[in-house]
Amino acid sequence: MPNRPQYDVAIVGASIAGCTAAILFARNGARVALIERDPDPAAYKKICTHFIQSSATPTIERLGLADAIEAAGGIRNDFEVFTRWGWIVPPPTGNVTRPAYGYNIRRETLDPVVRKHAIATPGVDFMPGFTARELLVSRNRFSGVLIHGADGLQKEIQARLVVGADGRQTRIAELAGLAAKVKPNGRFSRFAHYRNLPLRSGLRSQLWLLEPDIAFILPNDDGITVVAAMPERAKLAVWKADSEGAMHRLFDSLPNAPPLRKAERVSPFMGMNEIPNKIRKVFKPGLALVGDAALAIDPLCGVGCGWAFQSAEWLAEATGNSLHRSDKMGSRS
Residues 225-266: pLDDT tens digits? 999 999 999 999 999 999 999 999 999 999 999 999 999 999
Average pLDDT, the chain: 92
Topology of the domain comprising 52-105+185-275: D-Amino Acid Oxidase; Chain A, domain 2 (3.30.9)
Residue 42 — very low, low, confident or very high, per pLDDT cuts 50/70/90? very high
Amino acid at position 300, single letter: L
Residue 5 — very low, low, confident or very high, per pLDDT cuts 50/70/90? low
Q: Mean pLDDT over residues 96-106, rounded?
A: 82
Architecture, CATH, for domain 6-50+107-184+276-329: 3-Layer(bba) Sandwich (3.50)
Higher pLDDT, 97 or 207: 207
Q: Mean pLDDT over residues 165-185, rounded?
A: 96
Say if residue 102's pLDDT is above 60.
Answer: yes
Say if residue 96's pLDDT is above 70.
Answer: no
Q: Mean pLDDT over residues 110-128, rounded?
A: 98
- pTM for the model: 0.93
Domain spans of the chain?
Answer: 6-50+107-184+276-329, 52-105+185-275
**What pLDDT score does 4 carry?**
46
Closest to 114 measured CA to CA, from 171, 52, 160: 52
Q: How far apart are CA 41 and CA 301, in angstroms?
A: 29
Residue 320 — very low, low, confident or very high, per pLDDT cuts 50/70/90? confident
Q: Mean pLDDT over residues 109-133, rounded?
A: 97
Q: Give tens-digit pLDDT for 268-298.
A: 999 999 999 999 999 999 999 999 999 998 8
Residue 248's alpha-carbon distances to 186, 190, 228, 264, in angstroms, are: 22, 12, 11, 13
Residue 73 — very low, low, confident or very high, per pLDDT cuts 50/70/90? very high
The DSSP line for 69-133 is HHHTT-EE--EEEEETTEEE-PPPGGGSSS----EE--HHHHHHHHHHHHHTSTTEEEEETEEEE
Residue 94 — very low, low, confident or very high, per pLDDT cuts 50/70/90? low
**What pLDDT score does 49 carry?**
83
